[in-house]
Amino acid sequence: MKRRSILIATLVAAALPGLALAHGPTRQKVTLSTEVAAEPGEVWAVIGNFQDMSWHPAAFATTGKGGNEIDATRVITLGSADGPTISEVLYKFSDEKMSYSYRITEVEVDVLPVTNYSSHLTVKPREGGGALVEWRGAFYRGYPNNDPPEHLNDAASIAAVSGVYQAGLDALVERFGAPGS
Contact positions vs other proteins (CB under 8 A)? 18-22, 25-29, 91, 101, 103, 118, 136, 138, 145-146
The nearer residue to other proteins, 44 or 139, going by C-beta atoms, is 139
Distance in angstroms (rounded) separating the CA atoms of residues 23 and 129: 42
Least CB distance to other proteins at residue 156 (A): 15
Least CB distance to other proteins at residue 36 (A): 24
The nearer residue to other proteins, 82 or 147, going by C-beta atoms, is 147
Distances (CA, A) of 19 to 6, 9, 10, 15, 23: 16, 12, 11, 9, 8
State which amino acid sits at residue 56. H
Would you say how long the chain is, in residues? 181
The nearer residue to other proteins, 40 or 148, going by C-beta atoms, is 148
Least CB distance to other proteins at residue 118 (A): 7
Least CB distance to other proteins at residue 56 (A): 22
Please classify residue 165 by burial: count the beta carbons closer than 10 Å to its beta carbon, then call 0-12 exposed, 13-18 middle and 19+ buried: buried
The nearer residue to other proteins, 11 or 45, going by C-beta atoms, is 11
The enclosing H or E element of 28 equals: strand 28-36
